[in-house]
Structure 1
Amino acid sequence: MTGGSSRILPVIMCGGSGTRLWPASRDSMPKQFIDLIGQHSTFQTAVQRVTAPDVFLRPTIVSGNDVRFIVAEQLAEIGTQADIILEPTQRDSAAAIAVAACHAARHDPETIVLVIAADHIIDDSAAFAAACRAALEPARQGHIMTLGVVPQYPATSYGYIKPGQPIGGSDARSVDRFVEKPKAATAQEYISQGFLWNSGNFLFRADVMIEELERFQPTILAAAREALEKAATDLDFIRLDETAFKLAPKISIDYAVMERTERAAVLPVSFSWSDIGSWGALWDVSSRDDAGNALRGNVEVLEARNSLVHSDSILTTVVGLDDVVVVAKPDAVLVTSRSRSEQVKDLVVTMRGKQRPEASEHLRMYRPWGWYQRIDQGSRFQVKRIMVKPGGRLSLQKHHHRAEHWVVVRGTAEVVVNQDVVMLHENESVYIPIGAVHRLTNPGRIPLELIEVQVGSYTGEDDIIRVEDVYGR
């Protein structure tokens, strides 16, 4: 790559747990990996948005370690390859962008980097690509560009940008100032004065961002550089050094650089954009029926208006209510007014304080080999449904406190129990005694599904002693 390259390196940021969208979004499967609208997750649509080969280079993903296999699997589902950089701990956007800038500068210090979030919705990919091309030249000249969305209404959940003077002959403007989320009356004033929504999409030369980080946040830059220099390659992942990365202070790129640099500039854009920060925001961008209802899944409504009702499990019904949000999952139901849906985040904090597992974990837990879902649980037993992808293999492991009984209901299983290897087909079973070293593999071409019955004094996930694991866990 040369400094004169006309193509852009896209960096997709996958941090965050999306607690305002609980119970659909939880730590074990955050909102950016859920198909909230359409057939793909917002992460997948974000990646697809930056794959035009005449505009973009191979993307880089910055992700948390816990969701690395979800990232890899969802990339494979849409047929896209990427560099995947793993953060060992969350340090907010400044550290992540510092790593991305240093990573890009390894190839060419003047690489143009585009930073976007994995959980945003943009309805016009062509307009987005055109905006990136329009911001390219100001970025080459040394400006740190952001895309400022022309407001569609006086939003109180977004930050705003006041544009300054035009830059050269382009549509780009200098940034007069950034402002925090306003109250409704103030938001209306901002719109009348020509303010723009701060979309959080950035375009910059790698060396320019590095220079500004060196100026304003040298500790973050030093931590990012060392974490990248000491990074290890793990399967298809670049795993940042944990000790070095932890030295980076937790701070957003807005506070760390954008609100302090004289190089900030903004390109006004008019495509539809949302960060779907709440159920109310999702209703705003969803398709709705004649009564204004956004309905999805196993739902029925009667004389309800302007409401969002989602259920992918039990039949969920709403009668005679307006402006509400009802979301049903197998293990949790949320009911709130649409106007107060952002308070769901506070509810999750309360539930975590009470150590409710539903606050962070789904019944269905995803693993690199597939998933498992708890069906029932008692004082000395647990029943799970397990799916193993073709070619998937669980770790070679043992348990100190439980025995297991596996019954195959679909596909073929290869089971190792101590020194024995058995092949199981539908309606065949195997018993795993306490302490036995065992492993489950799907050697077939279709998903393997089985029912697991655990019996013992303790059935927690931390009673797994891994002897060997192909996924490096």
Structure 2
Amino acid sequence: MNVIAEAVSPDALTHDTQLACVVQPVVLAGGSGTRLWPLSREQCPKQLIGLTSEESLLEATLRRTLGLSAPTRERPAPHAIRTQPTLVVCSEELRLPTKERLDRCTSDSRVVLEPAPRNTAPALTVAALAARAAAPEGEDPVLVVMPADHLIADSQAFVATLQHAIQHALHDAIVTLGVPPERPETGYGYIKTGAPADGRGARTIERFVEKPAQQTAEQYVASGEYWWNSGIFVMRASVWLAAIEACRHDIAAACQASYEQAKLDGDGTLHIDHAAFADCPSDSIDYAVMERIGDNPTLTGVIVPLTAGWSDVGAWDAVWDVSAKDDAGNVARGRVLLEGSKDTYAHSEGRLVACVGVTGVVVVETADAVLVAAKDRVQDVKAIVNRLNAAKDTEAKVHRKVERPWGCYDSIDRGERFQVKRIVVKPGGQLSLQMHHHRAEHWIVVRGTARVTRGDETFLITENQSTYIPLGTLHRLENPGKTPLEIIEVQSGGYLGEDDIVRFDDRYGRTGS
């Protein structure tokens, strides 16, 4: 990659000059999105789903990175930004569904896998180490750090804002994008702004503020000094690594050790070392570094205004806010009928949802759960998820219909000693070679052709044919055809949990139970 390495003068902060740097987009894709339950679940969180369109939030975030080195309305001429393939940081558990979304994008990307959730500061630290190692020799890449689960309405304005932020990052500032508030909002963190940092609206950072109460939020908005914290950051890799070392040496040391012992697999995925990363404390970028900027004279913080239609879509009222509405302020997705209702959000994944005479209500229907909430109380949905987790109910973690790299399955019925699943296998898809200790299975093909491995035999079955897999028998299901394979699976036994799977061979790299 050819990189133009030119010094950027301080005047560049107030004039529209050429930029010259290597930029490393970093997408943090480890969020859980609990306030968007029941659509967002632990094993299919909000960045993997489409809240306002068919495209997932992760895919939309990746597409926005494509514009970083392209001309914009502010900069119609080509310039000297050179972008590296996007680094996507996610958990080991979400590796396969995340990579499936990445494969659907045109954006070049690499995956860094965290073996355990440790919040955003460690995630950014291992990404900075990986970015520095991948950059051309002698280059100190500028990190553009974005959550995977936000919405941006105006991509061109967003890219222009990032280019503005990059200029400050080239002068070793830690830059965050702040959103001038449109209303008092208690669901966002705030940043108190200081003196002007250039002639284009950027300011210094005085302090970060937690999500405020309503009255405090009103005071913040009225003052004009507080902006919403977007959670988007721009800084050189070396600047972040020095900052985390100065502010949280324990995090820096654990991340360095886990990165040094990381392993790269055949498709370029970087697996951070489990044992070393387990010692890493959990902390956010805000707590670990940004809230300490004012106390550390070696750190410079700058906030650049973002006016591009940003939303973190963190709860259902935010989804309602960014969605197209009818004349009564209603949003309807899926099979929804509204009669005499106002300012209501209704989402159906399958069954008909009818809302009559309601105002300011959120209704979200999925195959196994229905949420009904007052729109001004949707922040409390997280409490429902906590109760589900405490009771070990599966509705907190998975949908009834579960995606797998080979296709999907839908648990359509269940009793005390049986479970019925509808399984769809993609053309060429192959389940792992496996066995079960506690259940037997009966497979009936309703569409397509199945290749079945059962013990020492391998054979084909087609529509209206079936086979039986006894308890403890090694087996595998494959689709050798060019159309989807659909089967009905009847499980019977004393225990029917998904953890009763012992894998012996798997095309997708899954091992163990």
Within a 5 Å distance, the mapping from 1:215-254 to structure 2 comes to 215-236=246-267, 237-254=269-286
Aligned match of 2:34: 19
Tell me by how many angstroms 1:343 deviates.
Answer: 0.4
Q: Distance in 2 between matches of 1:355 and 1:218?
A: 36
Tell me by how many angstroms 1:42 deviates.
Answer: 0.8
Aligned match of 1:463: 500
Within a 5 Å distance, the mapping from 1:384-395 to structure 2 comes to 384-395=421-432
Q: Which one of the candidate residues 417, 432, 435 is aligned to 2:472? A: 435
Q: Which one of the candidate residues 98, 105, 109 is aligned to 2:125? A: 98
Tell me by how many angstroms 1:235 deviates.
Answer: 4.5
Q: Is the 8 A contact 2:63 2:106 kept in 1?
A: no
The alignment partner of 2:292 has SS state of coil
Q: Which one of the candidate residues 126, 147, 152 is aligned to 1:122? A: 152
Question: TM-score, normalized by length of structure 2?
Answer: 0.89
Query: Alpha carbon RMSD of aligned pairs, Å?
Result: 1.6
Aligned match of 1:347: 384
2:460 matches 1:423: yes
2:177 matches 1:147: yes
2:333 matches 1:303: no
Q: Distance in 2 between matches of 1:362 and 1:107?
A: 37
Q: Distance in 1 between matches of 2:434 and 2:301?
A: 53
Q: Distance in 1 between matches of 2:437 and 2:444?
A: 21
Aligned match of 2:113: 86
Q: Distance in 1 between matches of 2:417 and 2:454?
A: 23
Q: Which one of the candidate residues 68, 83, 89 is aligned to 1:62? A: 89
The alignment partner of 1:60 has SS state of strand
Q: Distance in 2 between matches of 1:344 and 1:169?
A: 42
Q: Distance in 2 between matches of 1:445 and 1:10?
A: 37
Q: Distance in 2 between matches of 1:392 and 1:81?
A: 25
Within a 5 Å distance, the mapping from 1:446-457 to structure 2 comes to 446-457=483-494
Tell me by how many angstroms 1:148 deviates.
Answer: 0.6
Aligned match of 1:333: 370
Within a 5 Å distance, the mapping from 1:21-420 to structure 2 comes to 21-52=36-67, 53-54=69-70, 56-108=83-135, 110-194=140-224, 195-236=226-267, 237-261=269-293, 262-420=299-457
* Contiguous gaps of at least 5 residues in structure 2: 6-19, 71-80, 294-298
| Comparing 160-169 and 148-157, the one that deviates more | 160-169
Label 1:96 to 1:311 Cα distance change in 2 as closer, same or farther (>3 A): same
Q: Distance in 1 between matches of 2:143 and 2:376?
A: 37
Question: TM-score, normalized by length of structure 1?
Answer: 0.96
Tell me by how many angstroms 1:172 deviates.
Answer: 2.3
Label 1:401 to 1:391 Cα distance change in 2 as closer, same or farther (>3 A): same
Q: Distance in 1 between matches of 2:63 and 2:192?
A: 30
Output the amino acid matched with 1:231.
A
Map Cα deviations across residues 166-194 of structure 1 (whole Å, 9 max, x no partner): 22455322112211111222222212222
Output the amino acid matched with 1:340.
R
The alignment partner of 1:138 has SS state of helix
Output the amino acid matched with 2:102.
L
| Comparing 180-189 and 152-161, the one that deviates more | 180-189
| Comparing 346-355 and 2-11, the one that deviates more | 2-11
Q: Distance in 2 between matches of 1:96 and 1:422?
A: 46
| Comparing 188-197 and 161-170, the one that deviates more | 161-170
Map Cα deviations across residues 206-252 of structure 1 (whole Å, 9 max, x no partner): 00111111111111111111111111223432111011111111111
Q: Distance in 2 between matches of 1:64 and 1:31?
A: 14
Q: Is the 8 A contact 2:22 2:140 kept in 1?
A: no
Tell me by how many angstroms 1:340 deviates.
Answer: 0.3
Label 1:7 to 1:39 Cα distance change in 2 as closer, same or farther (>3 A): farther
Tell me by how many angstroms 1:3 deviates.
Answer: 8.2
Tell me by how many angstroms 1:335 deviates.
Answer: 0.6
Q: Is the 8 A contact 1:28 1:366 kept in 2?
A: no
Aligned residue pair count: 473
Output the amino acid matched with 1:64.
S
Label 1:32 to 1:308 Cα distance change in 2 as closer, same or farther (>3 A): same
Output the amino acid matched with 1:134.
H
Map Cα deviations across residues 103-147 of structure 1 (whole Å, 9 max, x no partner): 111134510001100111110111111111111111011001100
The alignment partner of 2:186 has SS state of coil
| Comparing 333-342 and 440-449, the one that deviates more | 440-449
| Comparing 166-175 and 156-165, the one that deviates more | 166-175
The alignment partner of 1:243 has SS state of helix
The alignment partner of 2:244 has SS state of helix
The alignment partner of 1:452 has SS state of strand
- State, as a whole percentage, how many aligned pairs show the same letter: 45
| Comparing 429-438 and 308-317, the one that deviates more | 429-438
Tell me by how many angstroms 1:50 deviates.
Answer: 0.7
Aligned match of 2:78: none
Tell me by how many angstroms 1:264 deviates.
Answer: 1.2
Q: Distance in 1 between matches of 2:60 and 2:303?
A: 24
